[in-house]
Amino acid sequence: MDRFNGIPAIGFGTYPLAGAEAERCVAAALEEGIRHIDTAQMYGNERQVGSAIAASGIARSDIFLVTKVDPSNLGAGRFAESVKRSVDDLGTMPDLLLIHWPPPDGDVDGAVERLLVAGERGMARHLGVSNFSPRLMRRAQHLAGGKLICNQVEFHPLLDQSAVLATARELGMVLTAYSPLARGKCMEEKVVQEIAGRHKRPASEVVLRWITQQGVAAIPMTRQRANAASNLRAMEFTLTDAEMEAIAGLRSHSLRLINPSWMRSWD
């Protein structure tokens, strides 16, 4: 499996899975060969994710585990304690700890400082951010002295994230794509279906290959074991430059699925 900054190219997202379903789906993904699992404090399923990993029989060093600090926990009085709870719930230290959203109070400097402290205290192997705009990425990476390896963002063909991707490359970071299939909307596009037909591949694999071929990791969520296996097969073929450009043309849809009220600006 290809890795970008050490992050496996294809992973498994766990939102909005909860309870026994979360544990079952993570277990199935691991059994199918996925080794990149993504969760967050906000999802309320860290304990189930950790249980599935512990029960898998797979060496912990073979699994890349990501979790994220909730916006409500970014302040000085809550950050460290929330990460300790995450480690306890997961039953293990995450490989990558992210700030889930830019701080609602605007204190990016403080949040990044606390993230760095968590790393220095051995609470995560790697550090990064999520949902940071190019401007905030530059600020955060400067404050971190280049230690941030990732920005996790909504990324799919129906949304133009070229500026975020260019900034990540400039800063030595990689992107991880959540909602990489745009909740199935990408597969409905005629151009995607035509390319899938030429390659004799499901449309979902074509979309995931378009993402990973740009050096972006992807964490699709699925409740179906067969889909988890199919997602991994997206790394088995290559799209032509013309196919890549044709899919990129879909960005004119400007479809942003996740846009919370507290996010001040994406610019």
Helix axes of 225-232 and 203-212: crossing angle, nearest 10 degrees: 40
What is the pLDDT at residue 260? 80
Torsion from C-alpha of 107, 104, 179, 97, nearest 10 degrees: 40
Quote the pLDDT of residue 103: 94
Q: Which of 4, 12, 43, 210 is catalytic?
A: 43
Burial pattern 239-258, b for ≥16 Cβ within 10 A else e, equals beeebbebbeebeebebeee
The pLDDT of residue 195: 98
In a domain, residue 115? The reply is yes
The reply to whether 229 falls in a domain is no
Alpha carbon distance 90, 83 (integer Å):
10
Residue 121 lies in a domain: yes
Taking the C-alpha atoms of residue 162 and residue 147, their distance in angstroms, rounded to an integer, is: 22
**Strands (DSSP E) found in 181-222:** 217-218
Residue 78 lies in a domain: yes
* 39, 66 contact by CB (below 8 A): yes
CA-nearest of 147, 152, 227, 137 to 184 is: 227
Closest C-alpha to 176, from 240, 92, 100: 100
Using alpha carbons, list the distances in angstroms from residue 19 to 39, 197, 224: 13, 38, 16
What is the Rg, in whole angstroms, of the alpha carbon atoms belonging to the chain? 18
Say what the pLDDT of residue 261 is: 74
Residues in the chain with pLDDT values less than 50: none
- What pLDDT, on the 0 to 100 scale, is given for residue 259? 86
Helix or strand or coil: residue 151? strand
Number of separate domains in the chain: 1
Q: What is the pLDDT at residue 236?
A: 97
Residue showing tokens 């988890």: 228
**Cβ–Cβ < 8 Å for 210, 239:** yes
Range of the domain at 146: 3-182+215-224
Query: Is the preceding peptide bond at 16 cis, omega within 30 degrees of 0?
Result: yes
43 given a catalytic annotation: yes
125-148 per-position pLDDT tens digit: 999 999 999 999 999 999 999 999
Domain-located, residue 259: no
| CATH value at residue 160 | 3.20.20.100
**Residue 58: what pLDDT?**
98
In a domain, 149, yes or no: yes
The verdict on residue 29 lying in a domain is yes
Looking at the domain assignment, is residue 101 inside a domain? yes
